[in-house]
Structure 1
Amino acid sequence: MDTTMSRHLFLLELWLESLVFQTKKSKSPLNYPLCARVRFLECPEFSIEQGDPGTVITSGRIELKFAGGRSVLFAMDPVDLLGKMERQPLVVSFFSGKETDIRPNVVARSSVPLANDLWGTVVESLTCSTLPVSKTVSGSYPLVSARTEVKLGEMSLYARLVCFRESIVTEFDLNSGVQTYVAPKEQD
């Protein structure tokens, strides 16, 4: 049996708004720029560079504006996706320095359980005749030290999961440079 027919195409979009650290210091202990590395299920680990950095320091609190995002497109069986999201949270690790640094300084990490908020979208993609369907999640999630597991603060994250059918086909006409998009035909 061909298992590729049961796989659906999904798009996960992430936006990291800000990081808030609880501290007694009066200035930021972090060096710019920050880089986030994201691990999600079986997708290759990907990086999100800090967008427009800014720091707001108030009594006992440092808020770092991250303002960066990324999207990942992947194919997976919807039933497998439900099980894997339940067992494996989205993991975001923050590094001080550039992504290309040999030994970037690990600042903090966060685990975001997406299963409870996004399972309805995956189930709807199995039964809904009008696609794509999507669901968004936003909120604050705890940041912990990568070494000691001590809570350092919070991360503000926005995530959207878009569910498509089995495929989206992209065709390119190499001679003219024109690209066209063809959606799979609906089954009657």
Structure 2
Amino acid sequence: MDTTMSRHLFLLELWLESLVFQTKKSKSPLNYPLCARVRFLECPEFSIEQGDPGTVITSGRIELKFAGGRSVLFAMDPVDLLGKMERQPLVVSFFSGKETDIRPNVVVRSSVPLANDLWGTVVESLTCSTLPISKTVSGSYPLISNRTEVKLGEMSLYARLVCFRESIVTEFDLNSGVQTYIAPEEQG
């Protein structure tokens, strides 16, 4: 049995808007430039570079503009995706330095549960005869210190999950090798 035909093609888009810290100091707890490393299920870990840095300091509050995003294309069985999204949140780690640094200094991290907000797209990919409407998640999520495990602030994030099902014909290179996805009516 060809198991690749039960896998659907998904696109996860992420946009990291800002990091907000409640502090009595007038200095940012992170140094520029910032970079984020993202772990999502079985996808290879990927980085998002800070787009347009800027700092807004008000009384007891420091907001660091991140303004960076990235998309990841992956193939997975929709039923497996639902189960894995419930057990494994999206993990974003922020560090000072560049993506190419050998040992980045991770300062804060955040876990974003995606299952409750994005499950509709995955379920529709199993039940609808057309491409499902993409679902989005946006909001603020706690930033936890990597050293002390204490909440230091919040991260503003936007995520969208798009499902292309098996309805497009394409080949692309994954860690497991080249995969082909063919529309069901084109299968011989």
Do the two structures share a fold, i.e. TM-score over 0.5?
A: yes
Residue in 2 that maps onto 1:49: 49
Q: Which runs of 5+ in 1 are unaligned?
A: none
**Superposition deviation, residue 55 in structure 1:** 0.2
Q: Is the 8 A contact 1:121 1:163 kept in 2?
A: yes
Q: Is the 8 A contact 2:5 2:181 kept in 1?
A: no
CA distance in 2, matches of 1:119, 1:52: 32
**Superposition deviation, residue 171 in structure 1:** 7.8
SS in 2 for 1:124: helix
CA distance in 2, matches of 1:93, 1:142: 12
Percent identical among aligned pairs is 96
Give the TM-score normalised by structure 1: 0.89
* Deviation per residue, 1:59-109 (Å, 9 max, x gap): 111100000000000000000000000000000000101111233221100
C-alpha change, 1:179 and 1:90, in structure 2 (3 Å) is closer
Residue in 2 that maps onto 1:87: 87
Residue in 2 that maps onto 1:138: 138
Q: Is the 8 A contact 1:36 1:48 kept in 2?
A: yes
CA distance in 1, matches of 2:65, 2:146: 20
CA distance in 2, matches of 1:85, 1:156: 20
Q: Is the 8 A contact 2:121 2:132 kept in 1?
A: no
Q: Is the 8 A contact 1:171 1:182 kept in 2?
A: no
Give the count of matched residue pairs.
Answer: 188
Q: Is the 8 A contact 1:19 1:65 kept in 2?
A: yes
Q: Which runs of 5+ in 2 are unaligned?
A: none
C-alpha change, 1:55 and 1:160, in structure 2 (3 Å) is same
Give the TM-score normalised by structure 2: 0.89
* Deviation per residue, 1:38-69 (Å, 9 max, x gap): 00000000000000000000111110000000
C-alpha change, 1:66 and 1:166, in structure 2 (3 Å) is same
Q: Is the 8 A contact 2:107 2:146 kept in 1?
A: yes
CA distance in 2, matches of 1:41, 1:182: 24
